[in-house]
Amino acid sequence: MADRDGKIWMDGQMVDWRDAKIHVLTHSLHYGCGAFEGVRAYKTEQGTAIFRLEEHTNRLFNSAKILRMTIPFTKDEVNEAQKAVVRENQLESCYLRPLTWIGSEKLGVSPKGNKIHLIVAAWAWGAYLGEEGMQRGIRVKTSSFTRHHVNITMTQAKASSNYTNSILANTEATDDGYDEALLLDNAGFVSEGSGENVFIIKDGVVYTPDLSAGALNGITRNTVLHICKDLGLEVVQKRITRDEVYIADEAFFSGTAAEITPIRELDRVQIGSGSRGPLTEKIQSAFFDIVNGRNPKYAHWLTKV
Ligand code: PMP
């Protein structure tokens, strides 16, 4: 990832990809306190556009606020940086990664006295859970790792350190031959995937865990809520048990990287017909219409670069 051509926006400047470096005594590298975003830009008929840029930047600033980090740039500057990175790297469609972290002036748990930094990188990234998974659905395993408790790590921050839990869950699931993990909260209710929110559909009603289950307030999750409303589908946010997923008619993950990925199996139990369900397909297709600029109702969610 480090050895390639291109430009990365780093603390206010465009630098060569290979020169975007930090010191080994960087505070965030030792203690894990940092925050990031995952954003996508899509090719539309009007040119390349970043999807829900403002919402992602707002979440980055909220994550920093929760972690008591003051980002030394304005939201406008961070938005402009993201547009500039896509342009500079001549990307038609891509994934963007803004990251803010604590510098290397001093170590010790207290971050006080360290500078806060910010980068934005962007690169081409296809279907996160595989092109085949988007069509046929993926195989998921309930994780033996519990999702964060809401008062242990801060679940509404997209904090770097939160992802150790995601890495453990994803590694366990993929080592066991599955595509992704489903994590339960500390009370045993369904929370989310290692990097995705989860939805199930039963008798035409769409269900997703409410955020008290420790799931991130996903921007794609919110997009799905809008899509369901447009399609006349009832959505219920509630506690969901793992066996409700087993007996659901359909299930899918949502996320910026994962987009809308159907789930065809949990713990070797086939969900519904064992392939992408008909309502999931409708929601997926509406999603791609929106991100690719084919639905004028949501043109305001697309920021041209
Ligand atoms: N949960 C977790 C743990 C995630 O990492 C992500 C990806 N950012 C999501 C949910 C989905 O969020 P979004 O739709 O905003 O990408």
| Complex prediction ipTM | 0.99
User: pLDDT tens digit string along 230-253?
Assistant: 999 999 999 999 999 999 999 999
Same domain, 105 and 153: no
Helix (H, G, I), strand (E, B) or coil at 128: coil
Domain count, the chain: 2
Q: What is the mean pLDDT of the chain?
A: 97
- Predicted local distance difference test score (pLDDT) of residue 71: 98
Please say whether the beta carbons of 184 and 243 come within 8 A: no
Residue 255 in contact with ligand 1 by CB distance below 6 A: yes
Residue 197 in contact with ligand 1 by CB distance below 6 A: yes
Residue 196 in contact with ligand 1 by CB distance below 6 A: yes
Q: Which of 75, 106, 158, 238 is catalytic?
A: 158
Task: Write the single-letter amino acid at 90.
Answer: Q
- Predicted local distance difference test score (pLDDT) of residue 72: 98
Same domain, 79 and 116: yes
For 301, counting Cβ atoms within 10 Å of its Cβ (0-12 exposed, 13-18 middle, 19+ buried), the class is: buried
Choose among 167, 232, 219, 212: nearest CA to 193. 167
Please say whether the beta carbons of 13 and 7 come within 8 A: no
Ligand 1 mean position to 108 CA, how many Å?
Answer: 30
Helix (H, G, I), strand (E, B) or coil at 193: strand
Choose among 111, 124, 123, 97: nearest CA to 10. 97
Q: Within a 10 A sphere around the Cβ of 149, how many other Cβ atoms? A: 12
Residue 8 in contact with ligand 1 by CB distance below 6 A: no
d(CA 99, CA 159): 10
What is the domain-level CATH number for residue 23?
3.30.470.10
**pTM greater than the 0.90 cutoff:** yes
Residue with the smallest CA separation from ligand 1 atom 12 is: 218
User: pLDDT tens digit string along 72-119?
Assistant: 999 999 999 999 999 999 999 999 999 999 999 999 999 999 999 999
Q: Which of 196, 221, 222 to mutate to test the pocket of ligand 1 (most atoms within 8 A of CB)?
A: 196
- Predicted local distance difference test score (pLDDT) of residue 15: 98
In a domain, 297, yes or no: no
Q: Crossing angle, helix 219-230 and helix 278-291, to 10 degrees?
A: 110
Same domain, 143 and 255: yes
Same domain, 245 and 136: yes
Task: Write the single-letter amino acid at 297.
Answer: K
Q: Within a 10 A sphere around the Cβ of 287, how many other Cβ atoms? A: 20
Ligand 1 mean position to 193 CA, how many Å?
Answer: 9
Residue with the smallest CA separation from ligand 1 atom 7 is: 195
Quick one: which atom of ligand 1 is closest to the CA of 257? 16
- Predicted local distance difference test score (pLDDT) of residue 199: 98
Sign of the Cα torsion 55, 59, 65, 68 reads negative
> 69 is written with which tokens?
């980090």
Residue 63 in contact with ligand 1 by CB distance below 6 A: no
User: Is 158 an active-site residue?
Assistant: yes
d(CA 163, CA 107): 22
DSSP run (H or E) holding 39? strand 39-44
d(CA 304, CA 287): 18
In a domain, 302, yes or no: no
Ligand 1 mean position to 72 CA, how many Å?
Answer: 24
d(CA 287, CA 42): 12
Residue 220 in contact with ligand 1 by CB distance below 6 A: yes
User: pLDDT tens digit string along 28-68?
Assistant: 999 999 999 999 999 999 999 999 999 999 999 999 999 99
Residue span of the structural domain in which 15 resides: 7-123
Ligand 1 mean position to 216 CA, how many Å?
Answer: 6
Same domain, 136 and 270: yes
What is the domain-level CATH number for residue 196?
3.20.10.10
Residue with the smallest CA separation from ligand 1 atom 10 is: 196
Boundary-marking domain end, from 123, 158, 188: 123
Same domain, 183 and 85: no
Ligand 1 mean position to 98 CA, how many Å?
Answer: 14
> Which percentage of the chain shows pLDDT scores above 70?
100
- Length reported for the chain: 305
Choose among 203, 213, 234: nearest CA to 155. 213
- Predicted local distance difference test score (pLDDT) of residue 183: 98
DSSP run (H or E) holding 182? strand 180-184
Measured in degrees and rounded to the nearest 5, phi and psi for residue 206 equal -100, 130
Q: How far is CA 260 from CA 25, 108, 207, 216, 303, in A?
A: 39, 41, 15, 16, 21
d(CA 267, CA 182): 10
